[in-house]
């Protein structure tokens, strides 16, 4: 199960919000859940929550994605009743003005949704996105890095339908079959707990040139990006993605 919430938040007083506030919003969200869940949620390699913050000083949009039944059961009731959030460090209260949600019930529904789109996919990187390999930050996207990230998140959050790829050849085949058509990207640093993490924001359009099941799987993975995000620290506000498909 994949559930996406969008909350429109209004600061109670004049302030200068930053996308890095997403980390503090996430901490506030977990503080409303059970302590056992708050502890267990980070014990697996892939955390079943991604979230990010965008908007203007007058109106913020907080997107929260719950990846799996456990996070849905624990956090949906919190998000449904969350009317105000106090950010202690910034001394500001955020008021919930609107909320909406959408649900993908199972992996079959995700594949069906992906099949209704075309073979051209636009990924809009809304918050600073970065990858990491061998201890180094990689702040430029490649199709291989994108597919690798999405497959890891898929297998961590959809265990009932894992993508089997022990030798990595499947990932390589998907990456080769996704061709960049256009991009508009620029660098943007994400500040987290006093650390500056290099990254990028902007838009990347990919054309799916694969056939058969590989084509269907690539389409589903890119639709999944809308929920899972891309790259590192998507639980803490990085790698927020909006996915648009074109015929």
Q: What is the CA radius of gyration of the chain?
A: 18
* Whether residue 95 has pLDDT greater than 90: yes
Q: Which residues contact 201 (CB under 8 A, 6 or more apart)?
A: 125, 126, 127, 128, 129, 185, 186, 188
Q: What is the pTM of this model?
A: 0.94
The 3-state DSSP class for residue 161 equals coil
* Whether residue 43 has pLDDT greater than 90: no
> What confidence score (pLDDT) does residue 247 get?
66
Q: How confident is the model at residue 29 (pLDDT cuts 50, 70, 90)?
A: very high
Q: How confident is the model at residue 42 (pLDDT cuts 50, 70, 90)?
A: confident
Adjacent-strand bridge partners of 200: 129, 187
Q: Which residues contact 186 (CB under 8 A, 6 or more apart)?
A: 200, 201, 202
Q: What is the pLDDT of residues 141-159, one digit of tens each?
A: 999 999 999 999 999 999 8
Q: What is the pLDDT of residues 155-186, one digit of tens each?
A: 999 988 999 888 889 899 999 999 999 999 99
Rounded mean pLDDT, 35-53:
85
Of the candidates 125, 153, 127, the residue with the CA atom closest to the CA atom of residue 48: 153
* Whether residue 187 has pLDDT greater than 80: yes
């Amino acid at each position: 199960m994949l559930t996406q919430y969008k909350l429109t938040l209004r600061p109670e007083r004049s302030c200068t919000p930053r996308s890095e506030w997403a980390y503090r919003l996430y901490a506030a969200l977990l503080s409303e859940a059970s302590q056992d869940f708050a502890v267990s949620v980070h014990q697996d390699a892939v955390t079943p929550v991604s979230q990010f913050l965008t908007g203007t000083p007058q109106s913020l949009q907080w997107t929260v994605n719950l990846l799996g039944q456990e996070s849905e059961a624990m956090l949906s009731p919190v998000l449904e009743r969350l009317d105000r959030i106090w950010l202690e460090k910034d001394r500001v209260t955020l008021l919930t003005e609107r909320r909406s949600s959408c649900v993908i019930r199972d992996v079959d529904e995700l594949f069906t949704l992906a099949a209704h789109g075309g073979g051209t996919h636009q990924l809009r990187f809304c918050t600073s996105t970065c990858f990491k390999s061998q201890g180094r930050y990689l702040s430029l996207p490649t199709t291989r890095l994108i597919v690798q990230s999405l497959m890891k998140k898929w297998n961590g959050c959809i265990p009932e339908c894992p993508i089997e790829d022990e030798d990595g050849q499947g990932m390589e085949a998907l990456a080769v079959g996704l061709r960049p058509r256009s991009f508009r990207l620029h660098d943007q640093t994400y500040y987290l707990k006093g650390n500056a993490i290099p990254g990028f924001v902007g838009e990347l359009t990919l054309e799916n040139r694969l056939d058969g099941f590989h084509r269907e799987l690539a389409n589903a993975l890119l639709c999944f990006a809308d929920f899972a995000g891309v790259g590192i620290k998507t639980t803490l506000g990085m790698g927020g993605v909006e996915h648009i498909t074109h015929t």
